[in-house]
Amino acid sequence: MAKAASMADELFAKLEASILSGALQPGEQMPTQKAIAESEEVSRTVVREAVARLEAQGLVVARQGSGVYVAEDARYRAFQVTRNELSELADVIRLLETRLAIETEMAAFAAARRSTEDIAAMRIALRHMAQVSDDPIAAAAADVQFHLAIARATRNDYFVRLIDFLGLRLVPPRNLYLRDQPDDAHQAYVAKVRAEHEAILDAITRMDVPRARQAAWDHMQESLNRHSELSDVELEAQPPANTP
């Protein structure tokens, strides 16, 4: 069973690479399961599993009575960030690096284009975040709403769609950074994040583009620093590898 699963993983990766590279074009009909099984020297069961995963990822579509086709937007659907991917510090750090680049400019655009309604939405999100600060899940949801309000203030729907897509993936789990830490550490963390958010809001409210960009950069860099330092601590705590 484990061998079949491994073979399905390998076949899935190979077919996925063919789609993303353009070797299999959008709208193109996939080879039949029998043809794939013969060419790859695997069982039909392995092929079915690999193709089912391609379909689940939105990379192919099955048409009854016709066959399986590469999805027209397969190369766009391929990008995903799942919640499970963010259980490890290294993955959280990579996402924070990506957000650092995106959110600094998003805040700058928001400062230039925001409305009074946008500011109200940001304030409501921050108020709610303070009210539920003892509940990490609810606080993270309010945090997302704050960043979504900034995205809407840009008047650029692509920012909105990106932030909406990332959802709770935007906010690293507090317990990942503060695990085994006392309550006062949690409270200090909440207060620091609140101050960083307030600085972003103040700059956007004043329509100060350079300061909004800097405040967003400071916020993301602080989060990146916190998690990078924790990663360094974990590496130092690891026992040395055995040497021959």
The beta strand positions in 17-125, using DSSP E, are: 60-63, 67-70
**Which position has the higher pLDDT, 53 or 146?**
146
How far apart are alpha carbons 151 and 163 in whole angstroms? 7
Report residue 172's pLDDT band, with 50, 70 and 90 as the boundaries.
Answer: low
Q: What is the pLDDT of residue 91?
A: 75
**Confidence (pTM):** 0.63
Instruction: Using the predicted structure, report yes or no on whether residue 244 has a pLDDT greater than 50.
Output: no
Q: Are 126 and 210 in contact (CB under 8 A)?
A: no
Candidates 170, 176, 159, 193; CA nearest to 83 is: 170
**The residue to which tokens 């013969």 are assigned:** 38
| pLDDT, tens digit, 9 for 90 and up, residues 65-117 | 889 999 887 766 555 555 555 556 677 788 888 889 999 999 999 999 999 99
- CA dist 22 to 18, 33, 48, 169, 200, Å? 6, 20, 22, 29, 42
- Domains in the chain and their CATH numbers? 8-77 (1.10.10.10), 83-237 (1.20.120.530)
Q: What is the pLDDT of residue 32?
A: 93
